[in-house]
Amino acid sequence: MTSATGTYHWPVMVSEVLESLGVHPGGTYIDCTLGDGGHSVAILEAAAGPGPTGEHGRLLGLDADPEAIVATTARLDSYGGSAVLVNTNFEHLGQTAASQGFIPADGVLFDLGLSSRQLDAEDRGFSFKRPASLDMRFSAEGELTADYIVNEWPEEDLANLIYKFGEEPKSRKIAKAIVRNRTIVDAKHLGDVVARASGYRKGRTHPATRTFQALRIGVNHEIESLQAGLGQAASVLDGGGRLVTISYHSLEDREIKRFVVGSDQMKAVVKKVIRPSKAEVERNPRSRSAKLRVVERLIPESDDSRVR
Per-domain residue ranges for the chain? 2-117+222-303, 121-220
Given the DSSP bridges, would you call strands 83-87 and 105-111 parallel, antiparallel or unpaired?
Answer: unpaired
pLDDT at 182 over 70: yes
For residue 184, the model assigns a pLDDT of 97
CA neighbours within 13 Å on the CB side: how many for 184?
30
Which of 14-18, 42-46, 120-124, 134-138 shows the lowest per-residue confidence on average (mean pLDDT)? 120-124
Average confidence score pLDDT of the chain: 90
For residue 59, the model assigns a pLDDT of 97
**Distances in Å between the alpha carbon of 59 and those of 64, 80, 105, 116?**
17, 11, 9, 23
Give the confidence band of 120 by pLDDT, cuts at 50, 70, 90. Answer: low
Q: Looking at residues 7-30, what average pLDDT do you find?
A: 90
Give the confidence band of 270 by pLDDT, cuts at 50, 70, 90. Answer: confident
Q: Does the pTM of the predicted model rise above 0.85? A: yes
For residue 289, the model assigns a pLDDT of 92
CA neighbours within 13 Å on the CB side: how many for 54?
17
pLDDT at 4 over 90: no
Residue 187 near residue 134 (C-beta atoms within 8 A): yes
Q: Which residues contact 81 (CB under 8 A, 6 or more apart)?
A: none
For residue 50, the model assigns a pLDDT of 65
Is 50 or 213 the better-scoring residue by pLDDT? 213
Is 276 or 142 the better-scoring residue by pLDDT? 276
pLDDT at 27 over 60: yes
Which of 61-65, 79-83, 283-287 shows the lowest per-residue confidence on average (mean pLDDT)? 283-287
Q: Does domain 121-220 have CATH number 1.10.150.170?
A: yes
pLDDT at 73 over 70: yes
Fold of the domain spanning 2-117+222-303: Rossmann fold (3.40.50)
Give the confidence band of 1 by pLDDT, cuts at 50, 70, 90. Answer: very low
pLDDT at 267 over 90: yes
pLDDT at 7 over 60: no
pLDDT at 5 over 70: no
For residue 114, the model assigns a pLDDT of 75
Report percent pLDDT > 70 for the chain: 89
What are the counts of helices (DSSP H) followed by strands (DSSP E) for the chain? 13, 9
Given the DSSP bridges, would you call strands 28-31 and 58-63 parallel, antiparallel or unpaired?
Answer: parallel
Assign 199 to helix, strand or coil.
coil
Round to whole Å and give the CA distance between 45 and 179.
51
- Would you tell me the crossing angle of helices 155-166 and 209-220 to the nearest 10 degrees? 100
pLDDT at 134 over 50: yes
